[in-house]
Amino acid sequence: MAIKKLIFYAALSNMLLFFLGASTLSQEAKKNLQQQKKEEIPRPAYEVEVIVTNVDVVVTDKSGKRITGLKPENFEIYEDGLLQKLTNFYEVKGMEVYTSVPEKDREKPPEPSQPLPEQVTQIENKIIIYFDNWHLHPLNRNWSIKKLESFIRNNFSSDNNNQGMVVCLGQKLEILQEFTSNEWQLLQSIDKAKKYSGQSLLRIRTKEDLRKELNNIVSTSTRYDKFESYERALGYARNYAEAEQTDLIYSLKSMNAFIDYLVGIEGKKILIYVSDGLPLNAGDEVFGFLDQAFPSGSARSEAMNYDATRLFKELAARCNANEISLYPINAQGLESMILSADKEAGWNTYTRGSGMVKAGSRLKNDALKLMARETGGLAILNTNDIESGLERIEDDLQFYYSLGYVSPHREDNKYHSIKVELVGLEEKYNVRVRQGYLRISQEEKIKESIISRLFLQRQYNPMNVIVQIMPVEAIPASNKLRLALKILIPIRNLTLLPRENDYIGQIKVYIALMDSESRISPCHELIQEIKIPAEDYEIAINRSYPYLAEMYVNPDHYIISLAIKDVPSSVINYLQLEKMIKK
């Protein structure tokens, strides 16, 4: 099916809007109404876009203790190596928020930082617990869940500002619990996660078979058949690395889709990622083993084909663009250097008694460290005491500084580095901050969010838009069918500005489809100007504006994801539908 070549058409039905009430008003009444509307709705003023970048900073001493009470003049922030001027600053200490301005910008003598007025909305923390069952042994998952239960009890109630979500990745990405501050609901959802079959088990067995075969080839190799043995082993090693790479890409793509799903959600966002680790290079372990077994070969050079550093950095940049910090937990716990009874010759297997730990698991920690470092988070690795790591996450939520500055860059879809330094202090402290961000335009964020909602359907419809799927029509001399969507937008919810004798607005419609084989169309953008005569305005605001989008598709089951944006107000609506298209 040529889903990549979907054709979109748009048609409008404007008659409904323009003939209403025209014959019921005298010329004088029309003139008075028109003048009244011009007075009621001011003309838009020219605006200059100012992009403010906000960066959360954690400051600790050598022992990890949080440092509080610092002032704006103690911070210097650099973007792409250039010093930036702070425009806003506040410190979070528990449930209180303290604001301050640099001394040089104050019009009166410096005063101690004071709590913000009570009417200021408390900053909300969004905490996502993400179980990657694709890379997580069920025993390790259940062990980590026990540790997370106390974290949930300590941090979620009606008395604090935290909201939690629970997500599982298995055969599909599934939200077990949407954002809530209800402790009981979150505990129920992570308990539900225990019932999911570990998606890693089958792949562990498959990879173990490859390991055993490799060990067998190495152990039975002689100096007479060393070349043939090396070639055979290299083939198995490639199969092993390909399997690792496939699993890794699936996990990274799923996480990218989920990050896009969070676009537009306000508040400080952290994602606790629970897994048995991810390989930064899917071939390092296996080709390194072959290099030791066959020193005359050059197996390790093949590992360069599986380097995923770029993919991890792209994930981190996407997180930074959406102000999400990653807190990975390696659920394998503390690694033991004691060989287990099931040791295989050549390729050692270790255990800590709660799920299997492979000799290459240290390599899988490097990726988790990168994820945390790039996003200003914290990696909890090589420990059975993950409670201490969870306590540090709690501190990150309750003690930090927020620095704001006017970025010299507009939405250029480019990566920009960030560096924060402390100045004017006698002691040396540690600073943890995201390493940079990707300046993604709003249009790109909308498109990414639409694609992610094909997998994780979530409606957001503040304008009460209605979407109707019209009867499917056959196209003469073609195997394709015409799928039409009728979009009805309440006119009173649109932002319309007066211009001469009309009221003018604009909408943008974004559409993407996914078929039964998970093939996704490009996200198409449609733009429509709206013009309503002033004489018809009073009646029109009680009606809906109709918009028709047509697509040519093959018979199949489709998930349709849409966004409707009111351009003047930048209000965006997200809707999803499902439809089985038959001939």
In tens, the pLDDT along 43-72 reads 444 444 556 788 999 999 998 899 999 999
To 10 degrees, what angle do helices 309-321 and 226-261 make? 10
pLDDT > 90? residue 163 = yes
- Two structure tokens written together for 541: 């605001």
Distance CA 272, CA 326 (A): 6
Residue by residue, DSSP assigns 244-297 as: HHHHHHHHHHHHHHHHHHTTT--SEEEEEEEES---SBTTHHHHHHHHHH-TTS
Higher confidence at residue 458 or residue 179?
179
Per-residue pLDDT of 100-120, as tens digits, reads 776 655 555 545 444 444 334
pLDDT > 80? residue 367 = yes
Per-residue confidence (pLDDT) for residue 3, from 0 to 100: 32
What is the average pLDDT across 238-254?
Answer: 92
pLDDT-derived band at 301 (thresholds 50, 70, 90) equals: confident
Residue with tokens 């390599």: 363
pLDDT > 60? residue 351 = no
What is the average pLDDT across 226-236?
Answer: 84
For the chain, percent of residues with pLDDT exceeding 70: 82
Distance CA 202, CA 242 (A): 16
pLDDT > 90? residue 153 = yes
- pTM for this entry: 0.76
Spell out the domains of the chain, with CATH numbers in brackets.
Answer: 3-47+442-581 (2.60.40.10), 52-120+399-438 (no CATH), 125-215+238-280+309-388 (3.40.50.410)
Q: For 323-360, where are the alpha helices, taking DSSP H only?
A: none
Most confident of 116-130, 206-220, 365-379: 365-379
Distance CA 233, CA 210 (A): 10
pLDDT-derived band at 341 (thresholds 50, 70, 90) equals: very low
Q: How much is the mean pLDDT over the chain?
A: 82
Per-residue confidence (pLDDT) for residue 198, from 0 to 100: 59
pLDDT > 50? residue 490 = yes
Do the bridges between strand 125-132 and strand 162-169 make them parallel or antiparallel, or are there none, so unpaired?
A: parallel
From 268-272, 349-353, 451-455, 518-522, the region with the lowest mean pLDDT: 349-353
Per-residue pLDDT of 232-242, as tens digits, reads 888 888 888 99
What is the average pLDDT across 182-197?
Answer: 90
Q: Are 355 and 276 in contact (CB under 8 A)?
A: yes
